[in-house]
């Protein structure tokens, strides 16, 4: 079984990657928190997944064999229903919620609902299979559990005197789940947000230690967790530009790590500005916007200067290997029309390179409904009225998740913060 990254970007406007950001953003992100993707939200999923592999193997079903994916989903439905019953939101929560309101629920009943088995690569296995191989919970290519994965499975399975294998066995044999008088206790102990016990915490501590041993340059991210007051800076528009300053100050003793953090900052600034220019060109071609226009004031000059400087700043910290061509085409642009033409040419080449149509053709929109015109116009007016805010405003609007908050959750789960 081979896992590939399953990536969903965090805003619908970027979901088809019109400017080719996914590859360079992934390159930069992997220099910090390689085990995380935008879909890895909680370590309990990896404990559950390790249990599922272990449970199915004990029942003579291994990865790659027929129906393995469906059997993982069988178990995921059980855990999902328990979590929803316990008040937690999990993957596929909208499909699980109707099940919790029934008087009777067995596996055969679940199997009659095709929606529960649609997109087997979307769920605990699809979201966490790749990251679990990075953590070395799963063997390469998802061939089975590693020794650490077996330890995690064992720790997750046994909590507070409960053995999840007992409930899973009854569920897989067709017993009515809701006939269990202790079901609410099962939900309390195993729900997504339940507190892990010491064995599970120690296993995660060992996994984190192993990761840091393999990648010593990122070890400070785990050994010296980001203080809460610095994380808080990244949650508000008014303080966001100070977030990276706080990170750099916290890790100032680690120059290479600081370079990687600053690269995140530089990427956000340049990609946000370019995204703004691209959406500006898209929205101004909308019929109703063409009639009322977009009052730009001094914005063209400001955005040209900011793009040029952001491109130079990125190239200054990217290191010896150039992995993103766009900054080099923008660092010496002379004027706004040249900058716009460069951005649109980059978009067109990127789209055609992956076999899809550019959103914009000449003075017309070729692919409809890619930018919310009304929301963009509101944002555009705010920066046109105050061009000096352009850089910070676009960085916030188009910010990316560099996983510092996720790391905090993993650290708390492992009991190291």
CA gap 174, 74 in Å, rounded = 11
Q: What is the pLDDT averaged over residues 52-61? A: 96
pLDDT in tens, 351-404: 999 999 999 999 999 999 999 999 999 999 999 999 999 999 999 999 999 999
Nearest to 307 by CA among 372, 248, 394: 394
Average pLDDT, stretch 21-27? 95
Contact 283, 378 (CB under 8 A): no
Query: What pTM does this model have?
Result: 0.90
Helices (H), 86-197: 93-100, 107-111, 124-134, 147-157, 164-172, 183-190
Q: Please list, in sequence order, all residues whose beta carbon lies within 8 angstroms of the beta carbon of residue 50, skipping any fewer than 6 positions away.
A: 132, 137, 138, 145, 149, 150, 152, 153, 156
pLDDT in tens, 263-308: 999 999 999 999 999 999 999 999 989 877 788 889 999 999 999 9
* pLDDT band for position 132 (cuts 50, 70, 90): very high
């Amino acid at each position: 079984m081979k896992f590939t990254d399953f990536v969903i970007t965090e805003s619908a406007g970027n979901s088809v990657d019109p400017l080719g950001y996914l590859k360079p953003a992934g390159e930069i992100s992997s220099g910090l928190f390689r085990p995380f993707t935008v879909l890895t939200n909680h370590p309990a999923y990896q404990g559950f997944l390790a249990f599922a592999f272990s449970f199915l193997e004990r029942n003579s079903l291994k990865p790659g064999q027929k129906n393995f994916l469906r059997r993982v989903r069988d178990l995921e439905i059980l855990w999902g229903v328990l979590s929803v019953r316990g008040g937690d939101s999990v993957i596929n929560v909208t499909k699980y919620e109707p099940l919790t309101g029934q008087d009777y629920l067995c596996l055969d009943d679940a199997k009659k609902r095709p929606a529960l088995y649609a997109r087997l690569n979307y769920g605990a296995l699809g979201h966490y299979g790749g990251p679990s191989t990075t953590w070395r919970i799963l063997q390469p290519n998802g061939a089975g559990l590693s020794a650490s994965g077996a330890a995690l499975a064992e720790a997750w399975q046994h909590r507070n005197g409960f053995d999840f294998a007992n409930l899973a066995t009854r569920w897989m044999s067709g017993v009515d789940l809701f006939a269990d008088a202790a079901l609410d206790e099962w939900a309390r102990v195993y729900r997504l947000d339940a507190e892990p016990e010491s064995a599970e915490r120690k296993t995660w501590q060992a996994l984190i230690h192993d990761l840091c041993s393999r990648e010593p340059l990122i070890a400070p991210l785990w050994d010296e967790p980001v203080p809460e007051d610095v994380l808080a800076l990244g949650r508000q528009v008014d303080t966001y530009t100070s977030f990276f300053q706080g990170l750099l100050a916290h890790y100032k003793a680690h120059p290479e790590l600081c370079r990687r953090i600053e690269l995140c900052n530089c990427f956000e600034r340049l990609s946000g500005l370019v995204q703004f220019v691209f959406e500006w060109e898209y929205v101004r071609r909308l019929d109703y916007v063409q009639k009322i226009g977009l009052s730009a004031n001094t914005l063209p000059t400001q955005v040209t200067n900011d793009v040029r400087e952001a491109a130079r700043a990125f190239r200054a910290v990217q290191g010896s290997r150039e992995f993103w061509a766009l900054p080099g085409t923008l660092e010496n642009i002379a004027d706004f029309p040249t900058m716009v033409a460069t951005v649109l040419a980059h978009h067109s080449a990127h789209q055609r390179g992956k076999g899809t149509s550019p959103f914009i053709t000449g003075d017309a929109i070729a692919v409809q409904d890619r930018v919310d015109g009304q929301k963009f116009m509101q944002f555009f007016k705010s920066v046109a009225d105050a061009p000096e805010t352009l850089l910070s405003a676009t960085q916030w609007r188009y910010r990316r998740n560099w996983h510092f908050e996720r790391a905090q959750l993993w650290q708390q789960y492992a009991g190291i913060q």
